[in-house]
């Protein structure tokens, strides 16, 4: 846990988009070889609300066990990792953080804070064997740490507007292209309305 907190405050390991580190760690942890079905949500606004509503519907209306990963958190980072409507315990978070840190040390890579939290969520949902994991992308889509999902059952893009232009590009087209990076061949796609005039 101490390592995760250090990453949160280490200026040298801030935002660093790309999938190389997180993919290496995902393979090392064995979390890409999973039976969990994924719903991946990206967009400019409404990602967290849409993700939460989808998770709620899957759990309460359809009876599935559901993991939910959202960001940011309000009170504790553990709010980002929810299983069947309950945030993970501190003890469980410590165990997951230690697994991520151990894998990172063995590969000699230093994941960012967001990458570590995303990996903790993926590992938790894999180990618990949830039926579905609803994953909210952090920034964009194509190069976001959550985009290690081989093929989601459903890719949702809530809306597209100008946001994070320094990372995603200066135009609606470049931003839409980046967010569409979560769409994989053969998955169902749900698109929300564009909010750009």
Mean pLDDT over all residues of the chain? 90
First and final C-alpha spacing in the chain: 44
Provide the 8-state DSSP code for 186: T
Nearest to 178, CA basis, from 193, 160, 154: 160
Whole-number Å distance between alpha carbons of 179 and 164: 12
Query: Contact 32/129 with Cβ under 8 angstroms?
Result: no
Inform me whether the pLDDT recorded for 164 exceeds 70. Answer: yes
What is the reported pLDDT for 167? 80
Determine which helix (DSSP H) or strand (DSSP E) holds 101, and give its type and residue range: helix 90-107
Taking the CA atoms of the chain, what radius of gyration do you get in angstroms? 16
Q: What is the pLDDT of residues 33-59, one digit of tens each?
A: 889 999 999 998 899 999 999 999 999
Q: What is the pLDDT of residue 130?
A: 98
């Amino acid at each position: 846990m101490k390592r995760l907190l250090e990453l949160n405050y280490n200026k040298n390991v801030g935002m660093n988009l790309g999938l190389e580190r997180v993919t290496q760690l995902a393979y090392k942890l064995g979390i890409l070889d999973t039976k969990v079905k994924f719903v991946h949500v990206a967009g400019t606004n409404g990602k967290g609300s849409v993700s939460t509503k989808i998770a709620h519907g899957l759990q309460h209306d359809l009876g599935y066990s559901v993991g939910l990963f959202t960001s940011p958190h309000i009170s504790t980072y553990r709010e980002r990792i929810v299983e069947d409507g309950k945030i993970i315990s501190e003890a469980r978070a410590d165990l997951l953080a230690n697994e991520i840190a151990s894998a990172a040390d063995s590969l000699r890579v230093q994941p960012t804070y967001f990458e570590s939290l995303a990996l903790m969520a993926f590992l938790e949902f894999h180990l618990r064997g949830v039926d579905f994991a609803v994953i909210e992308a952090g920034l964009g889509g194509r190069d976001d740490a959550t985009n290690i999902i081989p093929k989601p059952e459903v890719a949702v893009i809530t809306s597209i507007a100008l946001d994070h232009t320094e990372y995603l590009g200066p135009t609606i087209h470049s931003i839409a292209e980046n967010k569409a990076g979560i769409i994989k061949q053969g998955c169902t796609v749900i698109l929300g309305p564009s909010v750009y005039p």
